[in-house]
Structure 1
């Protein structure tokens, strides 16, 4: 580790301003001192320092950055391509060269204490972040050009705002210190590229949500009539990596929408209409070169990243499109994680071996159904509060929150895996004391998945490593409390029941090396315990000697000046000085040199104090550099254990999710459903007193009205009728959510449940115009209906709310009738169809597997009371006019509507 490389230390936004190495030291002040390693080790041996005691090393100040004055004398040059590069100043010339290499990214260029940007980036930055647009002299021929900047210590916050807006940022940092560089340009280079899918910094990520980067490869099939695709997606912060292949662009769109990718990359596609067929509108798309997606380059990327001779051992070597997509993703990661131009090294972000994802291993829930059931966010405004995840999430760690979210995104269809989860939930519900002990241990557990990833990428700070040690030290306590779990526990709990001893040794190493509460800044020392390194101990001994001299000097100068109020002080900018009041300033000794005048005091230095100051700065610089070297070695050791830490973290996450589901079940009166394997031929849902898991938590003034549901034995389709606002849609949704929860392995909001495994859940609830695609409300409704009828099987759950209402009455009734017949006769899926077409009740007389249900309403004169109770039998009216009156429609309109209704009914 060289002195120049210290500017690269710490996190992405570490303190790169003036550190001890940047202090200018007079050569004459240290020429007689021996700071060699041998002498320092000898000093430490003669004066050993006790281990595990922190040393308070006084931090140094940072220089004030140069601020460019505001002005209106900017030239008309607003784009970097509008200038002749040879006419620019050296700094701006370098900026433009880097900007040409990163044309689509905002380039932040480190100058002193600020990250600056110029030309079009400055204008954009000032608009997006509401910053003042200033100017900078670009050369005699050019004049002043636009400039905007952000303080280096606030860079993470501002970059997070840019990332949230879907932009990418290239960070150009200083690659060497300012020491002895007066009059010369500092070496600078792009050290990090931030994009929505590649951030790993804590402040830019949602704690309980994965941040997926997806890579897509699309090729036309040999018949040219359809497309096949490969998909790779990874969470850079947690190391999870998945690959998949498929056919049909609609299926690809569903996959990308399901994972809610932050960023999608693909090879260059000239046909924009093709992109619109598979890339959701709200997803950030980045098109890259085609070369990384070729089979040869992709295999090379995989072998190089995982240090393999062949990719056959990865388990998907026969999936060519998946391989190419994975290779494209890895190439993009290397592009956004540049080589350190000083040390010629790259800290590769640790990714797990890609896992092949197969569609038939999970319950399929399409994007429309996820929106209708409000699984992860509400349908109306996309808020988290009011979603299913909001209602059931009782996890205590960020890892557990992400795990539960993934379970909801991909519920299980394997009976053994479902029962394995449910058994643990049931066990923890009964063993409440054990559940509370486990949750207490989990409550303060750090995010080991992301912390270990940052360590492996070389971005972790000292506090990150201490948090990792905290988490690892809890593993034996968790293991001791997990010995009584059911024997059929999921296999992923094994690393938690049998703790890896190497992880405990790692935690002990971190504890013995770092102080318990290290500073955020990594360059100024105060990180490492005494007794760890003899060179560091020798430096600290010398600093102690200097501090003793300072104390004696203060007393000596007091006697020499006759001023008992004199104080020897330190300022982060001006160094050491002697402070006296204004009234005593004229009576100071002749060897004092005035340094600064303030309103109430004068500050002086002496030649001896100035000489000692240089020695102290040099010792602090050496000490800070040595501590950083020791810290970097420790961080590398932790990074080497990233895979083992993440393995334990996944177990912790799963345990947290299951313990949270147990807490939910115990506190909300849930029951354990009996799950039936669909392979046995049983397709039924029999639930007593089921409730909506979200609505019941949001009701304040009254209790939720539970209802029963029985479908599947003799009945495949239920025609559900009843008034508007009576709760039909709520009933449909709660059935879908209970099906989902049961296949996650959770208990359900009911008193008893018998549920068969579904392969898919379909919903069609409401519709809106899609004007951009040229589709009316009715056309959207019909497209959704067609999708369901073409994809549903006899093992599916279909929930329909109003079909055919967007066209003429008889047209709509005919469509609703025929759809019902098709579902009952051909598909025979478990279906609930909520409708106002009361004529459909007569289907139950023709088809034995169709039955009628209704939502009860009570009418007293003009008063209408919704009972929200579902019973057998069909309703004969919808009370629409009464509902309109309750909504505030004028009385004249209501009276006219009643007359028209009476006339229509008589004529019919």
Structure 2
């Protein structure tokens, strides 16, 4: 949610006189807020983050917390609300999910320095924004979805070309892809769908670019506008060199100018939000189209790969395939499904791992058990790199290393050489073991969540640290003795010495006993506070001891920080090694996941011999099969054999007979084959498919003002323009969004175009039985239908694909099954009978086949020429002789072969 500067605080301008002078703290706040007016400012005040003015009103309303006030400005109360620092992540999470961006202002000054400053009557900490949290720059684990990447995405477009760069700084991933002029809008749409960005940064000039303006409207809630100067080519060249620590951008790969512009802007935004604590990102990955199968947004949605039509993950393909154990494995699996491979050798590498895991059956469960509970080390490392000071991130690194080494050890004892290729080198394992010992030796097993709390570093690590801690222990014993002495002196058994952050150590008695301390002649007790039920006192010796304890604690914590950051430095020096290890574990988890589901569901290894365009024997739809298993039912498998010269299947048959399930099943088996997974079938052999296009089911796009039919035509045009001879096209019920004749004509022409021009694998399901006459002209068409039995006036769907043409669409039977009243069904039968009798009562039509005969291009051209000639003639201006000659001429044109 973009906050507008003018809608925030009525901040007085620097030179503007104020009716009432703000406190030093409020002056400091106003200056910090003035520099961060587009963000909700979480301002650290001791153990709380406080918000003021309009920020407080917004946070109070959105978070449901009390709105109070603190002091006045210009004789008006200052609205204020606050949240405890230890639970701030919960509140931050809610605000980020609502679309707000939050600036975090911390106390920068060391407490020991603050104590010195108090003696000079400077009683406030120095505070400033240390980090800005936006939807694309979240680091905190509770704010992230462990199974998803959280990509910050930068879009740059100029002169019809452009680039998109995206980064998940919690993982250390940075990618860029160039967009070309020819299909820029479509490419951008597909790329953004694949990336699924948490936040998009671009400039106002770019967002108003006519080429992409409509597309970016779909993402308006995720867009953050930045200044156009962030995309400056020269400056960004330098930024990229500095960020990736290279002397020339060419050493990073084939980066084009537009890539440099988009990537540089992204880096600029990382520094804006993370200040000097940007997590380590080691390299940039330049994405090329030729590496992966293309499954566009529409096809992915209609195949329900990542979510069902209703948006739910449950019941989608990924829901069935994702039995990964680790967060890094789940993320890698999703990327593999998004990007099926085109290289047979790369596919077979994955298949080999899966095969050997299945063969060594017991290994599957061992690996799953060992990976269970493994920390998300990539995100822990990013927080260590960003200096978020949560010692538990180091414990995550420790536990990750320990579990990883156990996984590698199990694979090491495997008999299979293929599996051993997954192992890091002995040198790398030794380096990991050294890091494990470093953390174990220095860091407590269960450290506090914040470094500031102390007791993070173990005893016997640093002698001076142990001495400082001993001072605290010795002085605490003195305080216990003082409590006994003061209690005896005052004759008050209820006297207690307590502690809080404001007063330090103090003496507390009930109000009715306060006079005994005030009137004590042997010891000077200073009254420091009265509460409703108690009076609080100090003495010189207690104050001295309290100060000594406080100073020793402060020095101990500062020393702990010094030791802690040295350990962090050593860990980050091995950042690349740990991330490689995490990648290994993710890969092992994904391959083991494929083996697990393949064994569980009896999936098989597909082959890529290329003998046929496609051969699937007893194929099954993995998602439908899964749901049927839960109902203790069996899925009906189907074959699909397509020879090289028989690449088009024309399918007829009623709704509910299983056509759409079969069509989706074919596409899903092809996608699963090319991600390296085993597939639900008895055998599968395919040629590599470069693109999958599906148009299944009717829909409209009201947001763009498109009807069902227009949406259908736009999507079909996309398919016809994008398909190659190596593509897979699935079209279901094309042309039903308009009149019957129009729909039939369009379906006819499109099918013919695919057969003649594209010559690719095509499954064309239709209710237009007339399309089957195309079989006479195109032997490459195979006619298929769904097997149906009729019994006692009812139909039984057998869900089996067979050769032939459907006798009927069985629409009335389906309507009856759906519960339509018998009287309506009866009337519909009468209407259908009348319509059927009239269908072919056309004048001059002797044969039904002849009526639907599709003319070849030559005859069509002759008729168009004759039509043009006739249109030019005016009967009133032509004599009988000319008319007769013209008639002979036209006759001759028609008869010429």
TM-score range relative to shorter protein: 0.7 to 0.9
Partner of 2:882: none
Partner of 1:636: 569
Shift in Å, 1:877 = 1.2
Matched, 1:333 2:270: yes
Question: Are the counterparts in 2 of residues 424 and 485 from structure 1 also a CA contact under 8 Å?
Answer: no
1:746-825 superposed matches below 5 A: 746-825=677-756
* Residue 368 (structure 1) aligned to one of 271, 279, 298: 298
Corresponding residue SS for 1:80: coil
Shift in Å, 1:868 = 2.0
Query: Counterparts of 1:580 and 1:150 in 2: how far apart (Å)?
Result: 31
Question: Are the counterparts in 1 of residues 274 and 386 from structure 2 also a CA contact under 8 Å?
Answer: no
Matched, 1:124 2:67: no
Corresponding residue SS for 1:482: helix
Query: Counterparts of 1:648 and 1:231 in 2: how far apart (Å)?
Result: 28
* Residue 293 (structure 1) aligned to one of 231, 237, 258: 231
Matched, 1:684 2:613: yes
Partner of 2:97: 164
Query: Counterparts of 1:96 and 1:575 in 2: how far apart (Å)?
Result: 30
1:469-488 superposed matches below 5 A: 469-483=398-412, 484=414, 487=417
Query: Counterparts of 1:388 and 1:852 in 2: how far apart (Å)?
Result: 29
Distance 1:259 1:867, change over 3 A: same
Matched, 1:101 2:49: no
Question: Are the counterparts in 2 of residues 482 and 497 from structure 1 also a CA contact under 8 Å?
Answer: no
Question: Are the counterparts in 2 of residues 364 and 761 from structure 1 also a CA contact under 8 Å?
Answer: yes
Deviations 1:841-870 (A, max 9, x none): 333343221112222233334544332222
Corresponding residue SS for 2:216: coil
Shift in Å, 1:313 = 1.3
* Residue 252 (structure 2) aligned to one of 296, 311, 314: 314
Shift in Å, 1:575 = 5.2
* Residue 350 (structure 1) aligned to one of 273, 277, 280: 280
Shift in Å, 1:397 = 0.7
Shift in Å, 1:587 = 9.6
Distance 1:480 1:185, change over 3 A: closer
- Greater relative contact order (CA < 8 Å, ≥ 6 in sequence): 1
Partner of 2:187: 251
Query: Counterparts of 1:573 and 1:110 in 2: how far apart (Å)?
Result: 16
Question: Are the counterparts in 2 of residues 684 and 712 from structure 1 also a CA contact under 8 Å?
Answer: yes
Deviations 1:817-843 (A, max 9, x none): 222222222212111122222222333
Partner of 1:538: 467
Query: Counterparts of 1:212 and 1:362 in 2: how far apart (Å)?
Result: 20
TM-score by length of 1: 0.83
* Residue 445 (structure 2) aligned to one of 516, 529, 539: 516
Question: Are the counterparts in 1 of residues 389 and 451 from structure 2 also a CA contact under 8 Å?
Answer: no
Shift in Å, 1:482 = 2.7
Corresponding residue SS for 2:325: coil
Shift in Å, 1:303 = 1.3
Corresponding residue SS for 1:795: coil
Query: Counterparts of 1:767 and 1:106 in 2: how far apart (Å)?
Result: 44
Question: Are the counterparts in 2 of residues 479 and 499 from structure 1 also a CA contact under 8 Å?
Answer: no
TM-score by length of 2: 0.84
Runs of 5+ unmatched residues, structure 1: 1-76, 221-226, 339-345
Corresponding residue SS for 2:807: coil
Query: Counterparts of 1:596 and 1:334 in 2: how far apart (Å)?
Result: 46
Shift in Å, 1:478 = 2.6
* Residue 303 (structure 1) aligned to one of 241, 250, 257: 241
Distance 1:602 1:83, change over 3 A: closer
Deviations 1:223-279 (A, max 9, x none): xxxx21112111111011111112122112211111111112223416364442443
* Residue 711 (structure 1) aligned to one of 642, 649, 672: 642
Corresponding residue SS for 1:499: helix
Shift in Å, 1:119 = 4.2
1:570-585 superposed matches below 5 A: 576=505
Corresponding residue SS for 2:756: helix
Query: Counterparts of 2:259 and 2:656 in 1: how far apart (Å)?
Result: 48
Deviations 1:857-886 (A, max 9, x none): 333345443322222222121221222222
Distance 1:429 1:774, change over 3 A: same
Structure 1 residues 777-786 or 276-285, which shifts more? 276-285
* Residue 649 (structure 1) aligned to one of 582, 586, 589: 582
Shift in Å, 1:352 = 2.4
Shift in Å, 1:555 = 6.4
Partner of 1:462: 391
Question: Are the counterparts in 2 of residues 232 and 243 from structure 1 also a CA contact under 8 Å?
Answer: yes
1:91-240 superposed matches below 5 A: 91-92=25-26, 94-140=28-74, 143-176=76-109, 177=111, 179=115, 180-181=117-118, 184-220=123-159, 227-240=160-173
Corresponding residue SS for 1:472: helix
Shift in Å, 1:490 = 10
Matched, 1:415 2:348: no
Question: Are the counterparts in 1 of residues 411 and 419 from structure 2 also a CA contact under 8 Å?
Answer: no
Question: Are the counterparts in 2 of residues 690 and 707 from structure 1 also a CA contact under 8 Å?
Answer: yes
Question: Are the counterparts in 2 of residues 269 and 287 from structure 1 also a CA contact under 8 Å?
Answer: no
Shift in Å, 1:475 = 3.5
Matched, 1:260 2:196: yes
Query: Counterparts of 1:782 and 1:640 in 2: how far apart (Å)?
Result: 55
Partner of 2:354: 425
Aligned residues: 811
Partner of 1:5: none
Shift in Å, 1:644 = 1.9
Distance 1:100 1:587, change over 3 A: closer
Question: Are the counterparts in 1 of residues 244 and 282 from structure 2 also a CA contact under 8 Å?
Answer: no
Question: Are the counterparts in 2 of residues 496 and 651 from structure 1 also a CA contact under 8 Å?
Answer: no
Query: Counterparts of 1:219 and 1:521 in 2: how far apart (Å)?
Result: 46
Structure 1 residues 292-301 or 632-641, which shifts more? 632-641
Deviations 1:275-318 (A, max 9, x none): 4244361361223222232221111001111222222211124x
Distance 1:184 1:577, change over 3 A: closer
Corresponding residue SS for 1:269: helix
Partner of 1:67: none
Corresponding residue SS for 1:697: helix
Query: Counterparts of 2:639 and 2:821 in 1: how far apart (Å)?
Result: 38
Question: Are the counterparts in 2 of residues 729 and 801 from structure 1 also a CA contact under 8 Å?
Answer: yes
Question: Are the counterparts in 2 of residues 427 and 485 from structure 1 also a CA contact under 8 Å?
Answer: no
Distance 1:642 1:566, change over 3 A: same
Structure 1 residues 776-785 or 370-379, which shifts more? 370-379
Distance 1:183 1:600, change over 3 A: closer
Corresponding residue SS for 2:608: strand
Query: Counterparts of 1:257 and 1:95 in 2: how far apart (Å)?
Result: 41
Query: Counterparts of 1:554 and 1:139 in 2: how far apart (Å)?
Result: 44
Shift in Å, 1:367 = 0.9
Corresponding residue SS for 1:109: strand
Corresponding residue SS for 1:515: coil
1:559-574 superposed matches below 5 A: none
Structure 1 residues 889-898 or 440-449, which shifts more? 889-898
Partner of 1:7: none
Query: Counterparts of 2:234 and 2:662 in 1: how far apart (Å)?
Result: 54
Partner of 1:269: 205
Matched, 1:902 2:843: no
Query: Counterparts of 1:706 and 1:109 in 2: how far apart (Å)?
Result: 63
* Residue 605 (structure 2) aligned to one of 656, 663, 672: 672
Shift in Å, 1:703 = 2.3
Query: Counterparts of 1:130 and 1:296 in 2: how far apart (Å)?
Result: 47
Shift in Å, 1:348 = 2.8
Query: Counterparts of 2:496 and 2:80 in 1: how far apart (Å)?
Result: 44
Distance 1:112 1:273, change over 3 A: farther
Deviations 1:692-731 (A, max 9, x none): 1112222332222222222243421112222212222111
Higher helix content, 1 or 2: 2
RMSD: 3.0
Shift in Å, 1:374 = 1.4
Question: Are the counterparts in 2 of residues 256 and 279 from structure 1 also a CA contact under 8 Å?
Answer: no
Partner of 1:400: 329
Distance 1:394 1:497, change over 3 A: farther
Query: Counterparts of 2:800 and 2:129 in 1: how far apart (Å)?
Result: 64
